Amino acid sequence: MIKNLEYNKKLWLITAALSLLVSLIGLINQNIYSQVVSQEILPGVVSQDLITFIISILLILIALKVKKNETKIQIIALSFLAYIFYAYSIYVIEQLYNSFYLFYLLLVSLSFWSIVVALANYDKHYFEELNLNKYIHYLSNFNTTSFLYSMDKSAAATNGG
Query: How high does pLDDT run on average in the chain?
Result: 86
In this structure, the answer to whether residues 82 and 123 fall within a common structural domain is yes
Mean pLDDT of all residues in 56-77:
95
In this structure, the answer to whether residues 137 and 123 fall within a common structural domain is no
In this structure, the answer to whether residues 23 and 94 fall within a common structural domain is yes
In this structure, the answer to whether residues 84 and 151 fall within a common structural domain is no
**Model confidence pLDDT, tens digit, residues 20-37:** 999 999 999 999 998 898
Cα distance from N-terminal residue to C-terminal residue, the chain: 40
Identify the domain containing residue 145 by its residue range: 131-161
Question: Higher confidence at residue 152 or residue 53?
Answer: 53
In this structure, the answer to whether residues 46 and 121 fall within a common structural domain is yes
Domains: count for the chain: 2
**pLDDT given for residue 124 in this prediction:** 74
In this structure, the answer to whether residues 9 and 76 fall within a common structural domain is yes
Q: What is the model's pTM?
A: 0.79
Mean pLDDT of all residues in 81-103:
93
